Chain A
Amino acid sequence: MASVKLTKVKKIYDNNVVAVHDFDLEIRDKEFVVFVGPSGCGKSTTLRMIAGLEEISEGTIEIDGEVVNDLQPKDRNIAMVFQNYALYPHMSVYDNIAFSLRLQKVPEDEIYARVTNAAEILGITDYLLRKPRALSGGQRQRVAIGRAMVRNSKVFLMDEPLSNLDAKLRNQMRAEIILLRQKLDTTFVYVTHDQTEAMTLGDRIVIMKDGYIQQVGTPTEVFEMPKNLFVAGFIGAPQMNMFETDLTLENGVYYVKPFGVKLPVDGEKGAALAAKNARPGHVTLGVRPEHVVLAEPGENAIACTLEVNEMMGSELHLHVYTEDETRLVVRVPTIRLDEQTRKCLVAGAKVYITFEGKVMHFFDPETTENLLN
């Protein structure tokens, strides 16, 4: 168990492409931190720099207070699970898991105890004598985790470990990783491009784009207070609705005027804008699909036309467009809809939507930063 500290870490490749810019982060002991972002954002490169598989161009990485920049991966006391499992195909499952222990010259009876214990935790005891090619994707991933587990390392690194699995297995393995984390009680650094994985697994999430950290925070923080438009769009599925509108201030109350409808910014958000002394003007307004509600025609209702109705089981995803052709998504729990309303929600139907001030997010259209930062 250990803390990991990255100070001004930079990665510049030979062709002068900068993959990671001035990465500053302190991962606390036993914390589960998830690096998330789109392809090419530098999340895997950063993880590989922590592992020692990628050279650090600038800055320092410390594990448990010791600078490890020049240490070989084997000397960093880390364990890593790879995206493609990276199991040794010529070895049995047992030998795969025991490989690192044999290199450390651990006595064979202790190796046996540790391997069988890990196999029991992961439910792969029956496959110990098989070769990796005789296992399914989920079983292989368990072996890869087992291989990392037996080392009792200070830091557990995982590079998109679930991305090769099908959706059902991914959900199952995600739950297993949460349980594993409780059992191992060590520091985890996890890389994924899937925001759901990031939200469900991480104590803190590091959202990255083009080699820069966009935001570091707990899942609740990044969801409720996205620092900029990128984070707002990346976290949450379906992604946040964003559109340009005017923010006005009348008699000490802020208003927004999306699609010709005047909506008050009440509650905490209004108070926060006032506290920040936000200047009225053009803003990018963000509202999450689950915060948009169907409404009756009226003063505060935005008229839309339904384009697509996606039935997701417990909820409907309604893709609508406004009179000025702005496309929005509305997420409606099916339990709230009566049979009659559901039948009316067909392509081309007229629907009215609205949202409250407390669910609004305000961004500067030029800097893309959240006005409440």
Chain B
Amino acid sequence: MKEKKTMKRHMGLRATNAISNSVIHVLLVIISIIWLIPFVCIVLQSFRMELTGQVGYVIPKQWGFGNYISLFKTDFTRWYINTFIIALVNAALQTVIVLCMSYTLSRFRFKMRGALMRFMMILGLFPGMLTMIILYRVLKDLGLTESNAVPGLILVYVASSGMGYYVSKGFFDTIPKSLDEAARVDGATRMQVLFKIILPLAKPIVIYTILTAFMAPWGDYVFARYISFNNPVGMNVAVGMYNWLTIDQINKNYTMFCAGGVVVAIPVTILFMCLQRYYVEGVTGGAVKG
């Protein structure tokens, strides 16, 4: 009798779990579809050949690669290269700076360490936009605006890299210090400890840092617009393509804009698809264990 009751309760629990799981999954599917709609629209519009402006339907009547071909006849290639250079250099420099900073704050004990971390945390609470005017003045004096906006933008993005040490430091804190000590006794310098022992163990956080450092300038509009100051030579893709959406341009360039959007998304999508596992490990590893 008792066994039957337990069995019934067990079956009931299983049914409840199955229902709640189904509801959650249906909800997630709906959210995913809603989230994907704009992306699907952009991809479909990029293949539309009959009209170049905005239309009231999604599926093109006439398909083709014309928009992609026209895209590369504009300044798009230059903007794309500009963006790629900025993102790549920033990813390289920022990763090195962030990882060195994080390792230092995780492993070394020095005077004012705590104060420095608190100071950086408070500084990080202010929006970066506040620095725009002074940054522009400084970069203009250095000759790093307008046509020279690419190195200027690299400088802006890299300059504040050290502030983003939190997640990596949290991850490094979870790696036992005795590994560093063993390596130092084995004859390694601090630099060798970082590169031969710590970084191979921190692969997820290294990839997370590279991805975030690559992504930030890849999609940036505000700083890029301000510093390039409407000079097509110094523009990145976001600024350049935005100019196609002005009232007098949108009807001529809308489908080409969509094609540009797809081309811009391709490298980031590939990167994410390949490195998604590490990215998630990096975020959760740093956040949970830090």
Contacts and interface: CB of A to CB of B under 8 A. Distances in A.
Interface in A50-87: 51-53, 72-74, 78-80, 82-84, 86-87
Contact of B187 (A53, A74, A87, A88): A74
B197 A88 contact: yes
B201 A89 contact: yes
Interface of chain B, main secondary structure: helix
Contacts of A99: 183, 186, 188, 196
Contacts of A84: 176, 178
B89 to A, nearest CB: 29
Interface in A82-108: 82-84, 86-90, 99-100, 103-104
A104 B182 CA distance: 15
B75 interface: no
Contacts of B188: 74, 99, 103
Given A84-B178, A86-B178, A100 B200 contact: no
Interface of chain A, main secondary structure: loop
A74 B189 contact: yes
Contacts of A151: 186
A178 B176 CA distance: 29
Contacts of A104: 187
User: Of A80, A82, A86, which is in contact with the most chain B CB atoms at under 10 Å from its CB?
Assistant: A86
User: Of B109, B178, B182, B184, which is in contact with the most chain A CB atoms at under 10 Å from its CB?
Assistant: B182
Contacts of B196: 99
Contacts of B192: 103
Q: Which range contains the number of B residues in contact with the other chain?
A: 10 to 19
Interface string A295-339: 000000000000000000000000000000000000000000000
Contacts of A30: none
Nearest to A82: B178
Interface residues of A, number: 24
B134 interface: no
Contacts of A51: 181, 185
A74 B182 contact: no
B245 interface: no
A11 interface: no
A226 to B, nearest CB: 34
Given A89-B201, A103-B192, A53 B184 contact: yes
Contacts of B176: 84, 86
Contacts of B81: none
Interface in B178-209: 178-179, 181-189, 192, 196-197, 200-201
A37 B151 CA distance: 61
Nearest to A104: B187
B187 A90 contact: no
B201 A80 contact: no
Contacts of B197: 88
A78 B201 contact: no
A103 B189 CA distance: 10
A165 to B, nearest CB: 17
Nearest to B175: A89
Contacts of A87: 182
A274 B216 CA distance: 86
A74 B181 CA distance: 10
Contact of A88 (B183, B185, B189): B183
Given A89-B201, A103-B192, A74 B178 contact: no
A232 to B, nearest CB: 34
Contacts of B181: 51, 53, 73, 80, 82, 86
Contacts of A90: 200-201
B182 A82 contact: yes
A269 to B, nearest CB: 47
B184 A72 contact: yes
A147 interface: yes
A52 B188 CA distance: 13
B185 A74 contact: yes
B187 A80 contact: no
A88 B184 contact: no
Contacts of A78: 185
B185 A73 contact: yes
A90 B196 CA distance: 10
30 contacts: A51-B181, A52-B185, A53-B181, A53-B184, A73-B185, A74-B184, A74-B186, A74-B189, A78-B185, A79-B185, A80-B181, A83-B178, A84-B178, A86-B176, A86-B178, A86-B179, A86-B181, A88-B183, A89-B201, A90-B200, A90-B201, A99-B183, A99-B186, A100-B186, A100-B187, A103-B186, A103-B188, A103-B192, A104-B187, A151-B186
Interface of B: 109, 176, 178-179, 181-189, 192, 196-197, 200-201
Interface of A: 14, 51-53, 72-74, 78-80, 82-84, 86-90, 99-100, 103-104, 147, 151
Given A82-B178, A103-B188, A151-B186, 15 more contacts: A14-B109, A51-B181, A53-B181, A53-B184, A72-B184, A80-B181, A80-B182, A83-B178, A86-B179, A87-B182, A88-B183, A90-B200, A103-B186, A103-B192, A147-B186
